[in-house]
Structure 1
Amino acid sequence: MDPDPLESGETAPDFELPGVTGDGYATVDYETYALSDFDASALVVVFTCNHCPTAIAYEDRIKAIQADYDDADVVAINANNAVEEHAGGAEFNPEDSFEHMNVRADLEDFNFPYLRDESQSVAEAYGAQCTPHTFVFDEDHALVYEGAIDDDREGEDVTEQYVRDAIDAVLAGEEYPTETVAPMGCSTKWKEAL
């Protein structure tokens, strides 16, 4: 499966998903988050995961975005298939289970909600192609930008900060002119059939 990402101006698809508690234990205890819970002037939705080296390389930058913007909400969603029997011979990764997500959120001190899209319906609705794949919305939840977070996978030589520039434009009430920059990372691990 390779769903098309949302297009500029489209409204963020609604969701209600379980989020990890970040208590450091491999547990299925959770808090529920809905799209309506995020009412800041800008919303950043990042499809990410636990196992992808690129997603891991971006974790500190995602945390920094949340820390640096009082008027923006960041929410991370992991939709990767973690169960072999659902893979139909395709890729899957047990590290992306809800229990492992909870441990990772505590280990890395995530300062944003980390949600599990077990059905993958939210990832399909947004068109999440890889981890990380980022979507920036304005206060009306209209899409302003989707794609890569910045221009350097490893974070050592970043010269373009697409997500930060999109947030800045939203907060300033300006148009964000940059076209989509293809996200980079591990492909979304889809179940055999949705």
Structure 2
Amino acid sequence: MKRTSILLAAFFAIVAFVSFSDVSAKGDFAVGSTLENFKLSDTNGKEQSFNDLKGKNGAIIIFLSVQCPVVKGYDERIAKLAEDYKAKGVNVIGINSNVTESPERVRTHAAEKYKFPVLIDKGNILADKFGANVTPEIYYFNAKNVLMYEGAIDNDRSGKTISNNYLRDALESSLSGKAIAKTSANAFGCSIKRVE
């Protein structure tokens, strides 16, 4: 009986270790982390650099999808956000990590909906590094490439009863030199379709 208890304890310890190792290996880019420059191809196949695309006051990376109804519900808000904050030196960069969406479909969607670059994350390498799981999911970096906010844009899919503008509040606080009250909010939307 004692030997069985010891074996069970050892088994659960190993399972816990493996589980926690898998979580940390996935990425989960934490608020306060500094992003190193990266390069991905845009929808025309041209390689683009994060440092070249970001604004003088930072960048908002948004994981997007062509098919996701939640992203479609946010398209106008995302376009308005990009317009408002480009004027304040913060550029929006779209990232599509979905293996199920062709560059042609992504290019067409981006041309119809957005005035900011959308990059293709082949093999979902960037999504894995960040720990991004859904679309839309936001990562706001300041001028020094430090992650200041991650998660949801706001708290309402429909846009009809927004009571918390998480991203805009974080941007306004950061740009005015104030502490950000809420540095993360659970993102909701469609799962990123990853390479298996």
**TM-score with structure 1 setting the length:** 0.82
- Structure 1: state its 5+ residue gaps: 21-28, 83-95
Structure in which a larger fraction of residues adopt helix: 2
Amino acid in structure 1 at the alignment position of 2:70: T
* Count of aligned residue pairs for this structure pair: 170
Q: Does 1:55 align with 2:71?
A: yes
What is the Cα deviation at residue 140 of structure 1? 0.4
Amino acid in structure 2 at the alignment position of 1:41: N
Counterpart of 1:32 in structure 2 is 47
Counterpart of 1:78 in structure 2 is 96
Match of 1:19 among 14, 39, 42: 42
Q: Distance in 2 between matches of 1:113 and 1:40?
A: 16
Q: Could you give the per-residue CA deviations for residues 11-50 of structure 1, whole angstroms, max 9, x where no partner exists?
A: 1243211112xxxxxxxx3332111111420310001110
1:1-194 counterparts in 2 under 5 A? 3-20=26-43, 29-37=44-52, 38-69=54-85, 70=87, 71-82=89-100, 96-108=101-113, 110-192=114-196
Q: Distance in 1 between matches of 2:98 and 2:169?
A: 28
Write out the 4+ residue segments of structure 1 that deviate beyond 6 Å after TM superposition: none
Amino acid in structure 1 at the alignment position of 2:116: F
Q: Distance in 1 between matches of 2:191 and 2:28?
A: 14
Q: Could you give the per-residue CA deviations for residues 78-105 of structure 1, whole angstroms, max 9, x where no partner exists?
A: 00112xxxxxxxxxxxxx2111011111
Identity across the alignment (%): 30
Q: Distance in 2 between matches of 1:179 and 1:147?
A: 8
Contact 2:123–2:194 under 8 Å retained in 1: no
Contact 1:58–1:153 under 8 Å retained in 2: yes
Amino acid in structure 2 at the alignment position of 1:127: G
- Aligned partner of residue 141 in structure 1, secondary structure: coil
Q: Distance in 1 between matches of 2:77 and 2:27?
A: 26
